[in-house]
Amino acid sequence: MDEDVLTTLKLLIIGESGVGKSSLLLRFTDDTFDPEQSATIGVDFKVKTLAIEGNKAKLAIWDTAGQERFRTLTPSYYRGAQGVILVYDVTRRDSFTKLENWLNELETYTTRNDIVKMLVGNKIDKDDREVDRNEGLKFARKHSMLFIEASAKTKDGVQCAFEELVEKILQTPGLWESDNQGQKVQLGHQEQGRGRACGGYCSIP
Partner 1 sequence: MAADNDPESEVFEITDFTTASEWERFVSRVEELLNEWKLTENYVEELSPEKGAYISGSWGEQSQDVHFADFKFYITHHFLKEECKKNGKGEEDTLPLAMQDLLCMHNDFPPRAHCLVRWYGLREFVVISPGANCEAIISESKCNLLLSSISMSLANSGCQVPIFVQIQQKWRRIYAGECQGPGVRTDFEIVHLRKVPSQYNHLSGLLDIFRSKIGCNMLPLPPVDITIRYTYILQDWQQSSWPQQPPDFDTLLGGEVGGVEFGSLPFGACEEPISELHLATTWPHLTEGIIIDNDVYSDLDPLQAPHWSVRVRTADNLQCLLGDFITEFFKLCCRKESAEEILGRGHAQEEGQENSDISSALSKLTEPAAPVPLSKLSVSSMVHSARKHIRRRRHIDESPLNVDVLNSILLYLFPDAAVEKSSGKEKITQSHFFRTSEQEKSSDNNLFLQLKSAPSDSLTYRLTLCLCMVNYSYGGLPAVTHLWQEFVLELRYRWENNYLIYGLTTGSPDLRCCLLHQKFQMLNCCIERKRGRDEARKAQERNGDGEHKASGGKASGTTTTKEPSQGKSWDSRSDSEEEFFECPSDQGEMETFQTEGEKDSSRFKAEGRLHPYNNMTLLNSTEPLYVPVTQEPAPMTEDQLEEQSEVLAKLGTSAKGTHLRAQMQSACLLSDMESFKAANPGCVLEDFVRWYSPRDYVEEEVFNEKGRTVLKGELSARMKIPGNTWVETWETARVTPARRQKRLFDDTKEAEKVLHYLVMLKPGDLACHLLPCLLHAAIVKLKHEESTENIPSVGKNIQQATSQANKLLHSVNYDYKRLEDFINQLVTMERVITEARSLKAKFAVDEEENNGETALELQKVVTSLLEEPEVVVIGAGQARIGRIIHRLFINAQRAALLSPMDEDLEPAAESRKIPDFPPPAGREILLRTCVPRPAPYSKALPQRLFCVLMKDEFRLAGAFSSDTSFF
Residues that bind partner 1 (CB under 8 A): 16-18, 29, 35-47, 60, 67-70, 72-73, 76-77, 79, 109, 111-112, 174, 178-180, 182-185, 187-190, 192-193, 196-205
Nearer to partner 1, 9 or 146 (CB): 9
CB of 53 to partner 1, least distance (A): 25
Closest of 87, 97, 83, 91 to residue 21, by C-alpha: 87
Q: Sheet harboring 43-52: ordered strands across?
A: 43-52, 55-64, 5-15, 83-89, 116-122, 146-149
Q: Answer yes or no: are the C-beta atoms of 34 and 72 closer than 8 Å.
A: no
CB of 19 to partner 1, least distance (A): 9
What's the number of CA atoms in the CB half-sphere (13 Å) around residue 171? 9
Nearer to partner 1, 44 or 137 (CB): 44
Nearer to partner 1, 18 or 137 (CB): 18
Nearer to partner 1, 19 or 118 (CB): 19
Q: Which residues, 6 or more positions from 178, have their beta carbon under 8 angstroms from its beta carbon?
A: 7
